[in-house]
Amino acid sequence: MGLISNPPILVGWKTTILGGDSPLVAIYYPQQVHTTDPVECLPVLGEAYWSTLENDMTNNDTHSTASDHARLNPSQVDLVARKMPFEFSDDIDPQWNKQKPEWSHMVNGASLAMPFLEPFLIRTLRKSLSQIESTQLTQDVKGYIAQEGQHFQQHRKFNDTLIQHGHVDLIAIEQQMKKEFDDFEKKRSQKFNLAYAAGFESMALGIGHWLIEDREFLFGNSDSRVASLVLWHFVEEIEHKNVAIDAYNAVYGGYFYRVYGVFYATMHVIKHTRKAYKAMLTKDGLWSKLSSRWKLQKMILRFYWKMIPHVWEACLPNHHPSKINDPKWCLDWLKKYESDHHSLALLDTGNMGSKYP
C-alpha cells in the first residue's frame, strides 16, 4: 500500500488541553509529516500544553527510582512521564500482526480513539485539581496528566500512519469522536466527566492485565514497534490505575454513579473502536469474508471473557485498584526502563512468552 500524496487530508485537531477556545481544526499534508519528528513539531500539539506540562513535571519528582514503582500503594508512586523513542515510519503495515489482521485492526481501532479520549481525560482531571485538597493526590493527578499526554501523542503518530496507508474513512470517525468528547465537556457535568475518566481507567486496568498475560498470543511475531507502543501504554495505565478513581472519590464520590461511569465509558470506547475496525476491515476486503468475521468474533469473545472479571471487580462497592496486584512483567518493565528504555521501544516479539520484557 502506498502513501497518499494529494490532496491534503484532515487528520487531526489541534488539541486544547487547557480548555481554551482556539480553533481546533488543523489540516496538513501527509507528505510533510515525518513521524520521526519531535512530538512538539506535530500539528496536533499546542505549545501552551507543552509549557504547562513541563511545569507540572518540574513540580513533580520525576526522578524516582525503579524500586518506587514496585509499591502497590499508588499514593506513594511518583508517576513518571516517559518519552519513549518510538519510530513510526511509513513502512508500518496497518496489519502489523500478519497472523492476526483482525486483531491488528481491533487494536488500531482502539488507538484511533486515544488522541480524542486522552486529551478529554487530561482536561477533566486538570479541572478537578482546584477541588482536590490532598497534596499527594494533586501530584498524582499531575503525573497522570503527564503520562496521558505522552500516550495520545504517540498514538497520534501511529494513527497518522494508518491514514497515510489509505484508511481515510477513519477521518470521519475521528470527527465524530471529537464532537462527542467536546459535547461531554460542554453539555455534561464535571461529575459525569470524572466518572467517565474513572470508569475508563477501570477498563484500561483490566485491558492492561489481559494484554500482558496474553502477550505471546496477541503480539507474538508481530511488528515490534506496534507491540511495544501498546504494551508501554498499558504498563503506564496499570501504573496510574488509582489516580482517576481517587480524584472521583475525593471530589464527588458516590458508588452507583461510579459504576455508571464504568459501563458508560466502556461501551462508548467500544462503540468507536468497532466503527474504526469495521472501516479498516472493510477497506482490506476482510469484513465480507466469513473466515475473517469468525476470527474477529473469536477475538471479541476472548476480549469479553478476559474483561468480564475485571469489570465485575471494578463494580464492587469496596473496589479500589490498589487491591489488585500488578503483573510481574509490568513491574519488570518499569525497572528495565531505568537502564534500557531503547529495547523497550523494540520488544522482541519473537520471544514474547519470556518472563521478562
Residues at the contact surface with Fe ion, assessed by CB under 5 A:
148, 151, 237
Is 148 or 160 the residue whose CB approaches Fe ion more closely?
148
Strand, helix or coil at 12? strand
Is 163 or 265 the residue whose CB approaches Fe ion more closely?
265
Residue 263 Cβ vs Fe ion, minimum distance, rounded to whole Å: 18
Residue 324 Cβ vs Fe ion, minimum distance, rounded to whole Å: 15
- Cβ–Cβ under 8 Å, residues 324 and 205: yes
Distance separating alpha carbons of residues 75 and 349, to the nearest angstrom? 33
Strand, helix or coil at 27? strand
Is 106 or 244 the residue whose CB approaches Fe ion more closely?
244
- Cβ–Cβ under 8 Å, residues 157 and 42: yes
Locate all alpha helices (DSSP H) within the chain, ordered by sequence. Answer: 47-59, 101-128, 135-164, 170-187, 190-213, 215-219, 224-239, 243-251, 255-283, 290-314, 328-344
The amino acid present at 127, given as its one-letter code, is K
**Residue facing Fe ion at closest CB distance:** 151
Residue 8 Cβ vs Fe ion, minimum distance, rounded to whole Å: 29
Residue 236 Cβ vs Fe ion, minimum distance, rounded to whole Å: 6
Residue 237 Cβ vs Fe ion, minimum distance, rounded to whole Å: 5
Is 114 or 251 the residue whose CB approaches Fe ion more closely?
114
Residue 27 Cβ vs Fe ion, minimum distance, rounded to whole Å: 26
Nearest-CA neighbor of 327 among 157, 187, 213, 195?
Answer: 213
Nearest-CA neighbor of 204 among 170, 249, 235, 250?
Answer: 235
Residue 273 Cβ vs Fe ion, minimum distance, rounded to whole Å: 14
Nearest-CA neighbor of 307 among 271, 262, 277?
Answer: 262
Distance separating alpha carbons of residues 353 and 357, to the nearest angstrom? 9
Is 148 or 284 the residue whose CB approaches Fe ion more closely?
148
Is 151 or 156 the residue whose CB approaches Fe ion more closely?
151
Distance separating alpha carbons of residues 160 and 86, to the nearest angstrom? 14
Around Cβ 111, how many Cβ atoms within 10 Å? 22
Residue 181 Cβ vs Fe ion, minimum distance, rounded to whole Å: 14
Q: In whole angstroms, how far apart are CA 267 and each of 46, 87, 139, 245?
A: 30, 31, 30, 18
* Angle between the N-to-C axes of helices 190-213 and 255-283, in degrees from 0 to 180, rounded to the nearest 10: 60
Strand, helix or coil at 9? strand
Is 155 or 275 the residue whose CB approaches Fe ion more closely?
155
Is 125 or 296 the residue whose CB approaches Fe ion more closely?
125
Is 42 or 269 the residue whose CB approaches Fe ion more closely?
269
Q: Return the C-alpha cell found at 124.
A: 477533566
Residue 155 Cβ vs Fe ion, minimum distance, rounded to whole Å: 8
Residue 5 Cβ vs Fe ion, minimum distance, rounded to whole Å: 32
Is 148 or 174 the residue whose CB approaches Fe ion more closely?
148
Distance separating alpha carbons of residues 4 and 32, to the nearest angstrom? 11
